Chain A
Amino acid sequence: MADPPVTTKHERILILEDWNFFHIKGGHAKEGGGQMNFKHKKRKKNNADINVHGAIGGDEKVILETNLKTCRKYSSETLSCFIDRELTEKEYSAIEEHLATCLECKNIINTYQSLEGHFTAGMTSALSSMDTARLKSRIMAGTDGENLNRQNTVKEPTDSGFSPSEPWKDIIRKLLHGKQPFFSNQFFNTRKFYLQLTSVAAIILVSISMIYLQKEPSFSGGPSAIITSVDGDISSVMILETQEEKHTIIWYKEV
């Protein structure tokens, strides 16, 4: 094969097949990469992502050179499929037989496989320096307390003994845990806000229940029974009820 003339205007590294002359019309390529239209002697028009050094404009002839050439019996794309066994058995056997005598095609196969081997090894090395133990801790912490089985539509009994007939206690429990911020505003995501909101909510609920029951708020002496208690991340709430008057006392403590 005769040596193609070398352009002296610019140096280009364009990755395409074999020896080809390209008459580049129009288009602009930014330095370092881009996309441009060019004319191919075999095809009418083609687009490609290319690496370029310097801008290209107007009509320029560019020499394309590749170090890896097939023997022309099989394209490099076919050989790429051969590596991945994405050919029919018949095609695979034919290429396998061909590789026994064709150094050019064998070179391409070895090159592609070598690149992948080095990439895998390089990735292994890179990952070894990453803190996967900490990643695991974050994952486990991020999923702590979440219920995997969401098909259960009945409210689950919790350790605090909430029953479905008292949903307001469940609300307090969720607020105390504070895992899921319900406002997107950063101000409302603070734990302090949860604590204040919890106490306000508890007071409102107690007041409503007192008004509903038309009882005057008076306190009697005597032992109280703990109805329920809830321990959250930032505070604990205990709900007590006096024995005789059945007054509800809500006591909370910041942890």
Chain B
Amino acid sequence: MGFKVVTQAHGKTGEQELIHQLKQGNRQAFEDLVDQYQHRLLAIACGITLDREESLEIVQDVFISVHRNIHNFRGEAGLMTWMRKITVNMCLNWKRKWTRRFKWSHHSIETDQGHFITEVETGNETPESSYMNREFETLVMEKVSLLPEKFRSVFVLKTLENISYEEIGQTLGIKTGTVKSRLHHARKLLAESMQMKTKVQ
């Protein structure tokens, strides 16, 4: 679960070497950094801001900030922890009015009988079930976009990054108990808004 599977695992030694090269001004090292982490940071930015163009600008600014301040990076926390925090801060400080400019589809996925699709098929997908799954994903994305920002931020960080409550709290500047409460509330709001029922296998 989470976007971490997208990024290749970077062992501690590997990251330390990368940091060292970055501090030496190694241009290739910086390019590697961008290749490794831009997707994850972009996902976080999109999830919080819900704005495609703004997310691209934020991630660009994050890497430029990292480029300028790498000499100050002590390495107590990991590179991704540091960049994640910069990204989240920029997203939360985004001054523009929140609008849903993310091009998600908004049409419902009612069946012919008027029931909402609730079951999710996994494995051995038929074309029809695959289509339904894509539609379901779109609906979930829409519902996430409707969450208040304070719930959505926690939900996005947990779902995409799969980090601990403590780390989410440090990133957002809130207590662990608040993280727990907001995440639960986000999940509950989403589930209720989806009117979901799932079969127990």
What residues make up the interface of A, taking CB atoms closer than 8 Å to B? 13, 15, 49, 51, 66-68, 76-77, 80-81, 84, 86, 103, 106-108, 110-112, 114-127, 129-132, 135-136, 138-140, 142-143, 146-151
Of A80, A107, A149, A151, the contact of B187 (CB 8 Å cutoff): A80
Residues of B with C-beta under 8 A to A81: 180, 184
Residue B106 lies at the interface, judged by CB distance under 8 Å to chain A:
no
Of B30, B60, B103, B200, the contact of A135 (CB 8 Å cutoff): B60
A126–B63 touching, CB < 8 Å: no
List the one stretch of B8-16, B36-44, B75-83, B86-94 in contact with chain A.
B36-44
Residue B174 lies at the interface, judged by CB distance under 8 Å to chain A:
no
Assuming A66-B192, A118-B120, A135-B38, is B200 touching A103 (CB within 8 A)?
yes
Q: What separation, in Å, do the CA atoms of A148 and B161 have in the docked complex?
A: 28
- How close is B98's CB to chain A, nearest CB, in angstroms? 12
Known: A84-B158, A124-B6. 10 other contacts (CB 8 A): A51-B193, A86-B180, A108-B191, A111-B198, A115-B190, A116-B158, A118-B133, A121-B133, A122-B141, A135-B59
A118–B60 touching, CB < 8 Å: no
- How close is B59's CB to chain A, nearest CB, in angstroms? 6
Interface of B is mostly: helix
Q: What separation, in Å, do the CA atoms of A140 and B38 have in the docked complex?
A: 12
A107–B31 touching, CB < 8 Å: no
A130–B52 touching, CB < 8 Å: yes
Residues of A with C-beta under 8 A to B190: 115
Residues of A with C-beta under 8 A to B70: 148
- How close is B109's CB to chain A, nearest CB, in angstroms? 12
Of A77, A127, A139, A147, the contact of B180 (CB 8 Å cutoff): A77
Of B30, B34, B59, B158, the contact of A148 (CB 8 Å cutoff): B30
Q: What separation, in Å, do the CA atoms of A138 and B134 have in the docked complex?
A: 31
Interface size, chain B (Cβ < 8 Å): 65
B160–A67 touching, CB < 8 Å: no
Report the 3 A-B pairs with minimum CB-CB distance, sorted nearest first: A122-B137, A148-B25, A80-B184
B60–A68 touching, CB < 8 Å: no
B64–A122 touching, CB < 8 Å: no
Q: Considering only CB atoms, which chain A residue lies closest to B147 in the complex?
A: A49
Of B3, B38, B148, B160, the contact of A49 (CB 8 Å cutoff): B148
Assuming A111-B191, A120-B160, is B184 touching A77 (CB within 8 A)?
yes
B60–A112 touching, CB < 8 Å: no
Assuming A80-B183, A135-B42, is B47 touching A123 (CB within 8 A)?
yes
Of A112, A129, A143, the contact of B67 (CB 8 Å cutoff): A143
Residues of A with C-beta under 8 A to B104: 122, 126
B198–A107 touching, CB < 8 Å: yes
- How close is B2's CB to chain A, nearest CB, in angstroms? 7
Residues of B with C-beta under 8 A to A119: 137, 140-141, 144, 155, 159
B165–A84 touching, CB < 8 Å: yes
- How close is B75's CB to chain A, nearest CB, in angstroms? 15
Q: Considering only CB atoms, which chain A residue lies closest to B25 in the complex?
A: A148
Residues of A with C-beta under 8 A to B52: 130
